Amino acid sequence: MMSNTNYVDAVRDLAAGKKPTKAYAGMPKEEREKLKEEKKTEKAAAKEAAKAEKAEAKLAAKQAKIDAKEAAKAVKKSIVERAKADKALAKLEAKLAAKQAKEAANAEKLEATLAAKQAKIDAKEAAKAEKAESKLVAKQAKIDAKEAAKAQKSDWLETAKAEKQMEIDTIKAQKKLKKQIEKEEAAVLKNAAKVLKDVEKAAEKSEKNRLKAVAKAEKEALKAEKLEAKELAKLEKEYAKKDAEIAKELALEDAKTDMPVTKAKKVKKVKKVERLDTDKNETKKPVTRQESKHIEVANILVEMKTQN
């Protein structure tokens, strides 16, 4: 039996020159059956549209999962390549620093050796010059003494005494001068030996410092290499863990999407599809939980890449 509401709606549709969309009292049986068939067709079409939308959403989710995995692999590969490049650069810099330290130490040692040799040569030359000058002074003193003795020939005894005294004085002066020269030569040689010894000590100290610097640089390079290897292993472990978690979550989501739909759920989903069809110009398609998870994972990977 038709309701009053259906009848009023039908009368309004007929008055407006429209085809009735609901059965009403007095409606021909043929039109009523035709209306029922149209309703069934619309319902079946809505059901098929819901199935197609569900299949499309499932395919989109799988594609998003594949894209997220590919993005994660690309980010991981980029980070690993960068870590390898940084490691090679650090190793090269350590080798270069060790080589420069060695070259600087060798140059310093060579300079110290040359300075010591030059100091020794200068000391010998100074000693020779001083000795030659002392000989000239002694010779001139002897000449002067002889000239003075000749001037006093008037008194032979005095002259002989004076000459003898002069000879004695000359001998004493020569001995004194010789001692002075020997003393000065010894002092010069001693000073040169001291300078050479100081230079050798400085060279030994420089060599020790160089060896310490090289050892320290090698130790720091080894330490940096171990630390980078540890960080790289940790990073790879974290990525493996993230991949496992993502795979597990996606498997759970796939299992949920593949579960059979009950009759009540079917009705609810059909109603939801109908509501979305009627309001498709006003509302947007909701984001599924799986799509949200993929977006979250992609954001985490981008953030980790930016921090590195």
- pLDDT, one tens digit per residue, over 9-63 is 666 666 666 665 655 556 677 777 777 788 788 888 889 999 999 999 999 999 9
> Measured between alpha carbons, how far is residue 208 from residues 98, 101, 109, 232 in Å?
14, 12, 11, 36
**CB neighbour burial string for 58-67, b if at least 16 within 10 angstroms, e if fewer:** eeebeebbee
* Average pLDDT of the residues of the chain: 77
Q: Is the pLDDT of residue 218 over 80?
A: yes
Q: How far apart are CA 232 and CA 79, in angstroms?
A: 9
Q: Span 142-147, mean pLDDT?
A: 87
Q: How far apart are CA 211 and CA 218, in angstroms?
A: 10
The range of the structural domain enclosing residue 11 comes to 4-307
What was the pLDDT predicted at 287? 56
Phi, psi of 270 (to 5 degrees): -65, -40
Half-sphere exposure at residue 286, Cβ-oriented, CA atoms within 13 angstroms: 9
What was the pLDDT predicted at 230? 84
Per-residue HEC secondary structure of the chain comes to CCCHHHHHHHHHHHHCCCCCCCCCCCCCHHHHHHHHHHHHHHHHHHHHHHHHHHHHHHHHHHHHHHHHHHHHHHHHHHHHHHHHHHHHHHHHHHHHHHHHHHHHHHHHHHHHHHHHHHHHHHHHHHHHHHHHHHHHHHHHHHHHHHHHHHHCCCCHHHHHHHHHHHHHHHHHHHHHHHHHHHHHHHHHHHHHHHHHHHHHHHHHHHHHHHHHHHHHHHHHHHHHHHHHHHHHHHHHHHHHHHHHHHHHHHHHHHHHHCCCCCHHHHHHHHHHHHHHHHCCCCCCCCCCHHHHHHHHHHHHHHHHHHHC
- pLDDT, one tens digit per residue, over 83-104 is 888 888 988 989 999 989 989 9
Q: Span 130-140, mean pLDDT?
A: 89
What was the pLDDT predicted at 24? 56
Q: How far apart are CA 230 and CA 29, in angstroms?
A: 83
What was the pLDDT predicted at 25? 52
Q: What's the burial of 81, exposed, middle or buried (CB within 10 Å: 0-12/13-18/19+)?
A: exposed
User: How many domains does one find in the chain?
Assistant: 1
Q: Is the pLDDT of residue 162 over 80?
A: no
- pLDDT, one tens digit per residue, over 253-305 is 778 776 554 444 444 443 444 444 444 444 455 556 556 655 666 677 667 65
Half-sphere exposure at residue 275, Cβ-oriented, CA atoms within 13 angstroms: 10
Q: How far apart are CA 137 and CA 101, in angstroms?
A: 54
Identity at 23, one-letter amino acid code: A
What was the pLDDT predicted at 121? 92
Band the pLDDT of 66: cuts 50, 70, 90.
very high
What was the pLDDT predicted at 282? 44
Range name among 80-84, 98-102, 239-243 with the lowest pLDDT average: 239-243
Length of the chain: 308
Q: Is the pLDDT of residue 250 over 70?
A: yes
What was the pLDDT predicted at 2? 44
Q: Span 217-236, mean pLDDT?
A: 83
Q: How far apart are CA 28 and CA 281, in angstroms?
A: 37
Q: Report percent pLDDT > 70 for the chain.
A: 73
Q: Span 100-116, mean pLDDT?
A: 90
Reading the block at residue 281, the tokens are 């110009």
